[in-house]
Structure 1
Amino acid sequence: MKPVNIKKQREKEVRHLLERQWEIWDLERELGFIKLERPIRHGWYKEIVITHKIELYKNQKYILEVYDKIEKFVWARTKEKADFQWQHKTSQYLIYNDIPTLSKKQYNRLSDKAKSLCVPFQYYTERRKLRIRFYLKIPKGAYKIKFTRAYNTHQKRIDPCLISEKAFIENQLKRPGYYNINEAFYRWKNHWNFKEYKQIKLKEKRRLNDLKKTPIDDVINDKF
C-alpha cells in the first residue's frame, strides 16, 4: 500500500479545523446579546450634534443629508482620551471647523443640492498619495460639539463550550508542521472569507456603538 503523504494529511486536517473555526464564529454571532437590567457607564463620546436652530435654515434638509454621511463621534474611556481621539481624527481626516470631512465616495452618494454644501480639497496621505476630500459648509448655529456619557445597554452572550473548542483549534493550528500550512490557506483560500468576517464584525461594532448611545430613559422604557 502506498504510504500517506504527511503534508497532504496535514493539509486535510488544517482544512477541517478551519471549516470548524468558521462554524464556531457563525454560532457565536447567532448567540446575540442580553439586555442589561441597568445600563453600565462605559466611557465618553465626543460628538457633533445638530441643534434645534437648524429649523431656521431653508436648506436644513440638505444639511441633515450631509450630516448623515459624516463620522459623528469618537469614543474613549475618559474625556481626555476622547478629546485626543477627536484631535487625532482632525490631523488624520482634516476636520475643518470641528466638522469631519467627507471622502469622495461619500460625496458621490449625495444629492446635487447637498453637494453644493461641499468644497473639495486635495491632501497627501501618510504614504504620500494624493487624495480628495470635501469640507462641509454647515452654519455654525446648526451644530455643536459636546461630550456625552456612554453606556453599555447589552452584553454579548457567550458559550463556554464554543470558547474552549475555539482555543483548542487555535492551539492545534499552531503546532509545528501545521502553522505554515494554516498561513498558506489564509493567503490563497480564505482571503475573501476573512474579509467577509471583518465586515460582519464591523457591523456588530457599529450596532454596539448605536446601543451605547441610546438614552437611559429609552432603555428603561424599551423604546429602542
Structure 2
Amino acid sequence: MKPEHKKSKRLKEVRGILKRQHQIWKQKQSLGYIKLEKPIRHGWFKEIVITQNVDRYKNKKEILELYDAIEKKFWGRTKEEADQQWFHQISKYLIYKDFPTVSKRQFNRLSYKAQKMCTVYSYRTEDKKLRKRFYVRIPKSAYRIKYTRAYITHSKRIDPELESEDALLDNKLLRNRYYKANAKFCGWNRKDYWTTQDFTKDKLKAKKQLKALQNYPIAAILNGKVTWERD
C-alpha cells in the first residue's frame, strides 16, 4: 500500500484544525455575557425613531412593520464618525432619501399593504453588477433622525484556555506550506496584489523613465543634474 501523499496529509490536518476552531467558536459563543454594574460610554448612534405623529395615519400598522424591517441605527465614536457611517450607507445605495432601504428578501417577507409602500430602484455595485432594492415611502412626520449616546452594558466572558488554543491553531495554519493548503481548502481568492493593473502601469512607467537615462552621461546622473523621477 502506497504511503499517504504529503499534500493530502496536510489537507487532512488543516481540516482537523478548522473543525476544532469551529468547535472553539461555538464554545466561546455559549459563554455568554456579564452585565456591568455601571454602563460605559461608548460613542454615538445616528438613528431613526418613530414619532407620536404615526398615530394619525390609517396605515400605522404597515409603517411600524416597515420600521421593524429596516436597519435603524449606525454607530460612531463621535457624531462625525456616525455621520460618516450614514453617508457610507448612502454611497452604497443602502440609504435613499435619508431613509434606509430594504432588500428583495426583506421585501418578500412584508405584507401586501406594506409592499405597496415600497418602490423598487436599480443600482450597480463596485463590481458593476446590477442590483435591486426598495426604498420606503413613509410620511416624514412619522419619523425623525436623531443622535443618541451609546453605552456598553455587558462584557463578554473569556476563557483563557480556549483563547490560547485558538491562537495556537492559528499559528499552525501559518506554517510553511500549511497556509497554501488552508487557502486551497477554503477556496480563497489568492489573486496577487502585485499583478494588479495599477501596479503594472507604474512598473512600465518606471521602466520607461529609467530607459530614458541611457541618453545622459553617468556624471550628470550622479551629480543630480538629471533625475529619473518625473511628475
Bigger drift between 133-142 and 59-68 goes to 133-142
Give the alignment's TM-score, normalised by structure 1: 0.76
Report the alpha carbon displacement of residue 171 of structure 1 after superposing the two structures with TM.
1.0
Report the alpha carbon displacement of residue 128 of structure 1 after superposing the two structures with TM.
2.3
Percent identity, aligned pairs only, is 59
Report the alpha carbon displacement of residue 174 of structure 1 after superposing the two structures with TM.
1.2
> Structure 1 residues 187 and 96, CA, compared in 2 at 3 Å: closer, same or farther?
closer
1:169 and 1:145 map into 2 onto residues whose CA distance is 45
Counterpart of 1:121 in structure 2: which amino acid? Answer: Y
Report the alpha carbon displacement of residue 94 of structure 1 after superposing the two structures with TM.
5.3
SS in 2 for 1:68: helix
Q: Deviations over 1:116-157 (max 9, x none)?
A: 211222222222222222222211110000001011111111
Counterpart of 1:158 in structure 2: which amino acid? Answer: I
> Structure 1 residues 10 and 97, CA, compared in 2 at 3 Å: closer, same or farther?
closer
Q: Residue 97 of structure 1 corresponds to which residue in structure 2?
A: 97
Q: Residue 110 of structure 1 corresponds to which residue in structure 2?
A: 110
> Structure 1 residues 5 and 124, CA, compared in 2 at 3 Å: closer, same or farther?
closer
Counterpart of 2:148 in structure 1: which amino acid? Answer: T
Q: Which runs of 5+ in 2 are unaligned?
A: 189-231
Mapped pair 1:86 → 2:86: yes
1:3 and 1:137 map into 2 onto residues whose CA distance is 67
Q: Deviations over 1:56-114 (max 9, x none)?
A: 11110011111111111111111000011111112212533311122222222111111
Mapped pair 1:19 → 2:30: no
Counterpart of 2:155 in structure 1: which amino acid? Answer: Q
Give the alignment's TM-score, normalised by structure 2: 0.74
Structure with bigger gyration radius: 2
Q: Residue 196 of structure 1 corresponds to which residue in structure 2?
A: none
2:11 and 2:88 map into 1 onto residues whose CA distance is 44
Bigger drift between 139-148 and 2-11 goes to 2-11
- Decide whether the 8 Å contact of 2:48 with 2:73 is kept in 1: yes
Pairs within 5 Å for 1:1-224:
5-93=5-93, 95-187=95-187
Structure 1 runs (4+) deviating above 4 angstroms are 1-5
2:173 and 2:94 map into 1 onto residues whose CA distance is 43
Bigger drift between 12-21 and 103-112 goes to 12-21
Counterpart of 1:186 in structure 2: which amino acid? Answer: C
1:123 and 1:6 map into 2 onto residues whose CA distance is 48
CA RMSD of aligned residues (A): 2.0
SS in 1 for 2:184: helix
> Structure 1 residues 161 and 147, CA, compared in 2 at 3 Å: closer, same or farther?
same
Bigger drift between 155-164 and 173-182 goes to 173-182
> Structure 1 residues 95 and 178, CA, compared in 2 at 3 Å: closer, same or farther?
closer
- Decide whether the 8 Å contact of 2:54 with 2:142 is kept in 1: yes
Counterpart of 2:17 in structure 1: which amino acid? Answer: L
1:45 and 1:141 map into 2 onto residues whose CA distance is 21
Report the alpha carbon displacement of residue 17 of structure 1 after superposing the two structures with TM.
2.2
